[in-house]
């Protein structure tokens, strides 16, 4: 065939084909021709949600302090969300897959943008700096946004999306009261 048509034929194994089909530009082809395979099904299964380890040390974390400052004292699920996002982020960093790294970077930016938009419209009490609907409103917006626009590589659940929000807070870029920056500064001092 090569001589007859004046071309070179290369044999590609499954590894080469999978690598090409996992590229972002080829995701639509993989979904169309191989639905349910290679982690690119239309609805990817979420990664396993891990239990919070008994020896966790989040009670003194900034994201917990910010929640408590907003009178959100039931925060065990927030700790689990944060732990699961951190575990996922470590796995992605260890693999160093550029697509997954970019997905997490984009996810953090999108979630920060959701928070910022809601923060701008919050009705913070002038004396306390609190809006008791702010946290739940942000989290519901995150849940709603990513239920219609799920990220598939790496696959994530709402627990991971909420954990991403807690990561943004832990970084000092957000909080749940008007004076969140002051709390972050005091925490870092």
Note the pLDDT tens digit of each residue in 55-77.
Answer: 988 999 999 999 999 999 999 99
pLDDT of res. 30: 72
Cis-peptide into 154, omega within 30 deg = yes
Query: Residue 121's pLDDT band (boundaries 50, 70, 90)?
Result: very high
**Residue among 29, 152, 36, 41 nearest 99 (CA):** 152
Residue 43 has pLDDT above 50, yes or no: no
Q: Are the beta carbons of 138 and 115 closer than 8 angstroms?
A: yes
3-state secondary structure of 22: coil
Say which DSSP state 178 is in: T
d(CA 70, CA 64): 10
Note the pLDDT tens digit of each residue in 165-183.
Answer: 999 999 999 999 999 999 9
Note the pLDDT tens digit of each residue in 14-26.
Answer: 787 777 777 777 7
d(CA 70, CA 85): 22
pTM: 0.74
């Amino acid at each position: 065939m090569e001589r007859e048509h004046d071309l070179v034929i290369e044999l590609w194994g499954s590894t080469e084909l999978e690598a090409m089909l996992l590229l972002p530009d080829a995701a639509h082809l993989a979904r169309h021709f191989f639905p349910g395979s290679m982690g690119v099904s239309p609805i990817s299964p979420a990664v396993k949600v891990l239990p919070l380890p008994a020896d966790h040390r989040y009670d003194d974390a900034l994201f917990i302090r910010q929640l408590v400052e907003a009178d959100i004292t039931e925060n065990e699920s927030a700790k689990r969300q944060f732990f699961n996002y951190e575990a996922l982020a470590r796995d992605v960093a260890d693999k160093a897959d550029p697509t997954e790294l970019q997905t997490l970077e984009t996810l953090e930016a999108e979630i920060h943008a959701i928070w910022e938009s809601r923060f701008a419209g919050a009705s913070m009490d002038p004396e306390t700096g609190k809006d008791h609907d702010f946290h739940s409103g942000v989290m519901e917006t995150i849940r709603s946004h990513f239920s219609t626009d799920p990220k598939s590589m790496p696959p994530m659940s709402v627990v991971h999306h909420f954990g991403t929000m807690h990561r943004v807070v832990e970084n000092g870029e957000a909080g749940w009261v008007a004076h969140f920056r002051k709390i972050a500064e005091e925490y870092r001092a």
